[in-house]
Structure 1
Amino acid sequence: MTFWRVNSNSRMTTLKGILTSKDIIKVFFDVKKNSNALYSEFKIKLAGVHDLQLMELLASGSPHRLRDIEDCFWRDAYRRQENGWRFWDLRGAVPSWCSHRIRDRWVQILPSLYAFYDAKLLPGRRKSMIATSNSKVEFSRYMIRDMEERRRAFMRRDVD
């Protein structure tokens, strides 16, 4: 997740304030799981979300194939070398116990990928991406509510 402050007048003092603010753009790659976890654990309702996976889908020439973050990293972030970063393919060369360190570095690449896909989006598609990102957040909340209601129903059956 990466986020930018859009309106510098408002002051956010907590992470919950940042995550629930519509004035700060939050960039997630496939926001469903993150939204699900934040809502189920802390009742945080995400706002101002831009889903990078949707941006890639709308910016790419093949709108029928969802790419994972690794594909986006190697296909699109690797091309953006004007930022002076160097990338090495370390897959397979690193023990599995420290492979999470390499994946954590993908977070550093999110701003670069966001700029790359944002430049390719048409204004109408940008609005569509924002609306769909918000729909994914809402959908994950409804899924949690549905699961909680089913769990309560099963618990009532066990008691009866």
Structure 2
Amino acid sequence: MEYTPRNIHLDPSRQKTMPTLKAHSLIDTTQAVASFLDKLVQYGINKLPQPPAQLKLQRPLGIYVPRMYFDAEGNNLGRHGTLSVLQVYVLPLDHVYLIDVTTLKGAAFDTPGKGGLTLRMILEDPAVLKVFFDVRGDSDALHAHHSIKLRGIHGLQLMHLGTLEFVDGLQKLPSLEICIRNHAGISAEEQDAMPALKRAGKQLFCTGFGVFDERPLKAPLAEYCVQDVQHMPTLWTAYANLLTKEKWALVLDMSRARVNGSQSVEFTRTNWNKSSVPVQFWSKPGVGRKWGPFY
């Protein structure tokens, strides 16, 4: 199912200003999965690319601009819940793909395109850079339900931390919504419109995230998913332009640590603090709360 881009407008049914959304498609058949993968191959997604024209690094550090940006939704997302939708914004295509994992199950990851490429291969390939905001819950769900071992991950939340001179007094990690508001360069009108779309989605899962497993997927939920990934490339570039080589190394190391920790048998939602600041980013490591493997 294809959706066209939507600009800021006044929704007559709710009298709320709604934000701009990228064009997006629901991938809910094996034929659609194969077609999606063929498009990725056409644009050389599994090869080292030239930097996209719309995103340029001011200080190249040997890191090319990733072209795939991910998020996931589910009912209690993780090993003890479900993985319902995997959102993928493909930068060269300027398009968001919503992979319907509830409908496709394992076929979402193991259906090949014409060249044999599968989504599993992309997710597990360390040479294909993939951006998540906070990868821990997504990695936990992908690994537990589909045995996918993520590699080649850039954590946007960690990149943001790396741009800060001091984090010692930071009480909690920022959310993706806060980062978009503060660093994505969107207009004041767009910022004012964003909460309306969030509320429309949250109203549907106010009694539980099981609505992400209901089919057909409701339009407000699809739009909620799109908004979460469409600003990630701009954030990545904004943060990458401020990172030193030392902070880049720390971000990459901590991104790997988050993935590895989320795949361990000890990882559960009760033993990791989603909002704690990793002490590796502190100016005085070792002071205060002890670092754990799931930060």
The TM-score with structure 1 as length reference comes to 0.74
In structure 2, do the counterparts of structure 1 residues 92 and 105 end up closer, same or farther at CA, with 3 Å as the change threshold? closer
Q: Return 5+ residue gaps in structure 1 as ranges.
A: 149-160
Indicate the SS of the match to 1:24. Answer: coil
Q: For residues 20-68 of structure 1, what are the alpha-carbon distances to aligned partners after superposition, in whole Å with 9 as ceiling and x for unaligned? A: 0010111001000011000000111000000000001111344234100
User: Is 1:48 matched with 2:168?
Assistant: no
User: Is 1:146 matched with 2:272?
Assistant: no
Map of 2:139 onto structure 1 = 35
User: Is 1:108 matched with 2:259?
Assistant: no
Q: Return 5+ residue gaps in structure 2 as ranges.
A: 1-44, 50-114, 205-219, 269-295
Show the 5 A alignment for 1:50-129: 50-63=154-167, 64=170, 65-77=172-184, 79=185, 87-90=190-193, 91-92=195-196, 95=200, 96-97=203-204, 98=220, 101-129=223-251
Preserved CA contact (<8 Å) 1:25 1:49? yes
Name which structure has the greater RCO, CA cutoff 8 Å, separation 6+.
1
Residue of structure 1 aligned with 2:258, choices 133, 136, 147: 136
Indicate the SS of the match to 1:129. Answer: helix
Q: In 2, distance between residues paired with 1:119 and 1:112?
A: 11
User: Is 1:19 matched with 2:19?
Assistant: no
More helix by share: 1
**Aligned sequence identity (%):** 27
Residue of structure 2 aligned with 1:7, choices 43, 48, 59: 48
Give the counterpart letter for 1:101 in structure 2.
Answer: E
Q: For residues 86-127 of structure 1, what are the alpha-carbon distances to aligned partners after superposition, in whole Å with 9 as ceiling and x for unaligned? A: 724232475434266245223111111000001110011001
Preserved CA contact (<8 Å) 1:51 1:133? yes
Q: For residues 123-153 of structure 1, what are the alpha-carbon distances to aligned partners after superposition, in whole Å with 9 as ceiling and x for unaligned? A: 11001100100000000111xx2379xxxxx
More strand by share: 2
| Aligned alpha-carbon RMSD (Å) | 2.7
Q: In 1, distance between residues paired with 2:46 and 2:242?
A: 22
